[in-house]
Structure 1
Amino acid sequence: MCADIDYRAQSQGIRRLHQLFGNGGNSHLDLACGTGPHICHFLDDGFQCQGLDINQPMLDVAQQRCPEAVFSVGDMCAFQVAQPFDLVTCFLYSIHYSDGIEKLKGCIRSAHQALSENGLFCFNAVDKTRINNNLYVCHTAQHDGSEFSFRSGWHYAGPGERQSLRLSIDRNTNGVCESWQDEHPMVALSFGEFEALLKPWFEVHIFEHDYERILPWDGESGNAIFACVKR
C-alpha cells in the first residue's frame, strides 16, 4: 500500500529543515515509526535513531530492518524519554491518529518534553477545512503474483474534531478479484487550530507539502509540513 511513497525524499526534506532550524544535534526520535522506513535513511545520514510505535509486530520488522536503532512500544500521545532528542518526527500524517484534541495536546506536550534545547519537532498534517471528500489518490503495485490497486482519501463530515482516512484495496490474482474497504478515524483541525495548540510550546513554521523544496505555506493548500522549534 505504501509502494509509491518516497521515504528517502521525505527523510532528506526533514533533514534539511533540521539543518535550517534545528540545534545541530543528531539524536532522532520517530513517532509512529511503523516498520522503520524513514529511520533507515536518518541512520544513513549519521543520526542516532529511536522509534516509537503502538504496534509491536511492526516494531519487530523495524528492528530487523534497522538493527542499529532502538525501538519501543508506546503511545505517542503520552510518552517519556530517558534522554532528550534533537529531532522528533512524525511522518505520513500519523499525528492525526491522536484520539481527539486532548490526546493531540498530550502528543505535543510529550514531544516538547522529549526535545533538547532548541530541538525540532516536524510532522505533516491536513487542514480539515480544505478537505475535498470526493478527492482520492490511486496507485497500483505488483506483489506475489497479484496486482493490487489502492485508493485513499480524506473525509470530513464537519463540524467537529473527527475526520477519517478512507481506504479501498482491490487484489487481482489470475483473474480472481477481491476487494476490501477500511476507514481510519482521525483527529481533525485547521492549520490555525494546529498553530494555536503548538505556539505555547514551540516557534512554529509552516511549509508547503513538498519534500524536494522548502517553500512557505501559501495559505491555501490543504497539506503542509510543520517545523516546530522548542521554546
Structure 2
Amino acid sequence: MTSENRYTDYDPWAWLYNQSEAHKSCQQFLPKLEKLLLPHLPEGAKIFDLCCGTGQITQQLLIRGYQVTGLDGSEKMLDYARQNAPNAQFILGDARSFEFPSTFDAVICTDSALNHIMSLEELKSVFSNVYTALKADGLFLFDLGLEKRYRNIPVNEGKLENEYAWTIGETYNPEEKTGTFTITIFQPVSKNSDIKQNSSIVNPLKRLVYNKFLRLIKPSTLLQLIPKDWHPSDITFSAKPYAKAEIETALEAVGFTAVKAYNFKGKLASPQQNKYACFVARKTCQSFRSVENTAKELSASNSYS
C-alpha cells in the first residue's frame, strides 16, 4: 500500500508519542477494556487493534493471553510497535480500506484515533470494514471526541524533559465542524540546525515541579521554562468531532446492534454527553437478528390490533 492511500501523519512524531503519550493513553484506557470488553471474550480470544500506534496496549493484551493483530498507517509507529509487542502481528494499512474475513472476537480502536477520519461517509467505511472482520457476536470498542471536544487553546498539555520539551495546542472551527491539534517540539539546535550535544540543561527542580504539578493546572507555564536556545518545530493534525447520535446511527446502518456509549469512567454516558464517549457495539449473528426483527414486527402489529 502506498503512502498516498493510508494515514501517515504520525510518522514525524512517532518517537515522541512512543516515549510520552502512548504510555499515558495505555494507562488510561486499560481500565475501560478490562471493564467493558475483556470479561465478555473467550479465553485466548483474537483481538484486532485498529490504529494500534506504538503497540503499548497490544502488549498488555498479549500479556493477558489474547492473540493480537495490530494495524496502523504509520511505518514509524509500527517500527516501535514491533519492539514493544514482539509477539504480535502488525500490518501496515489504513482503517478506511483494510479487508479481513470474519476472524476476530473483538476489534478495538483507542486514543480517539478515529477522529482523524474527516467525513462521516469514510467513518462508515471503517465501521463496515470492522463489521466484516468480526466473528458473529463479536464486539467493537472504540473511543471518540464528540462535538464539544475541541476548543481554541494554545497550550492544553505539555512536558519538559532534559533534552527536549513539547506542547499540544488545539483549534476548532464551529462553522466547518473541524479542529486541529498542533504538537510543538522544542529542541536545542545549533546554527547549522544539528542537535547540540552540550546545550542548556533544564533545572531538575523546575522540570519536576512542572511535570508533577503545573502540567496539570497551568500547562502553558512550560513556555516560560524552556531554555532560550531551544527552537520549536510544529506538526499539525486535522481532526473531526462527531455527535453521539450520528455515531450510533452509523454503526447501526452497517449492521451493529446493542450499541452503547460510556463516559471516561466506563459508566453509561448521559444523553447530554458531548465531549467524549467510548462506544461498544456487537455484530449480532443473522439468525438472531431475524428473530429480533420478527419480534419487533409482531410487537408493532399487536399494538395496532
Report sequence identity in percent.
22
What SS is found at the alignment partner of 2:105? strand
Alpha-carbon offset, residue 9 of structure 1:
4.1
Larger Rg: 2
* Unpaired stretches in structure 1, ≥5 consecutive residues: none
Q: Aligned ranges for residues 140-151 of structure 1 at < 5 Å?
A: 140-142=159-161, 145-151=162-168
* Unpaired stretches in structure 2, ≥5 consecutive residues: 1-15, 189-198, 201-226, 285-305
**TM-score normalised by length of structure 1:** 0.86
Take 1:141 and 1:120, find their aligned partners in 2: how far apart are those partners?
39
1:131 aligned to 2:150? yes
**Deviation string for 1:163-207 (max 9, x for gaps)?**
322333334651322112232112332112111111232221111
Structure 1 runs (4+) greater than 4 angstroms displaced = none
From the superposition, tell whether residues 195 and 67 of structure 1 become closer, same or farther in structure 2 (CA, over 3 Å).
same
Structure 2 contact 180–237 (Cα < 8 Å) conserved? yes
Which of 7, 13, 16 pairs up with 2:35?
16
Which of 280, 283, 293 pairs up with 1:227?
280
Which of 217, 221, 225 pairs up with 2:269?
217
Higher helix fraction (1 or 2): 2
Which of 112, 117, 122 pairs up with 1:93?
112
From the superposition, tell whether residues 54 and 147 of structure 1 become closer, same or farther in structure 2 (CA, over 3 Å).
closer
Structure 1 contact 100–186 (Cα < 8 Å) conserved? no
Question: What residue in structure 2 maps to residue 66 of structure 1?
Answer: 85
Amino acid at match of 1:205: K
**TM-score normalised by length of structure 2:** 0.67
User: Greater relative contact order (Cα 8 A, min sep 6): structure 1 or 2?
Assistant: 1
Amino acid at match of 1:164: T
Aligned residue-pair number: 224
Higher strand fraction (1 or 2): 1
Amino acid at match of 2:250: L
From the superposition, tell whether residues 51 and 97 of structure 1 become closer, same or farther in structure 2 (CA, over 3 Å).
same
Q: Aligned ranges for residues 1-231 of structure 1 at < 5 Å?
A: 1-2=16-17, 3=20, 5-19=24-38, 22-24=40-42, 26-134=45-153, 136-142=155-161, 145-153=162-170, 155-160=171-176, 162-171=178-187, 173-174=199-200, 175=227, 176-200=229-253, 201-202=255-256, 203-210=258-265, 214-218=266-270, 219-231=272-284
**Deviation string for 1:75-105 (max 9, x for gaps)?**
1111112451111111111111224222111
Alpha-carbon offset, residue 221 of structure 1:
4.5
Amino acid at match of 1:216: L
What SS is found at the alignment partner of 2:129? helix
Which one is further off, 166-175 or 91-100? 166-175
Amino acid at match of 2:172: Y
Take 2:277 and 2:36, find their aligned partners in 1: how far apart are those partners?
13
Take 1:177 and 1:23, find their aligned partners in 2: how far apart are those partners?
49
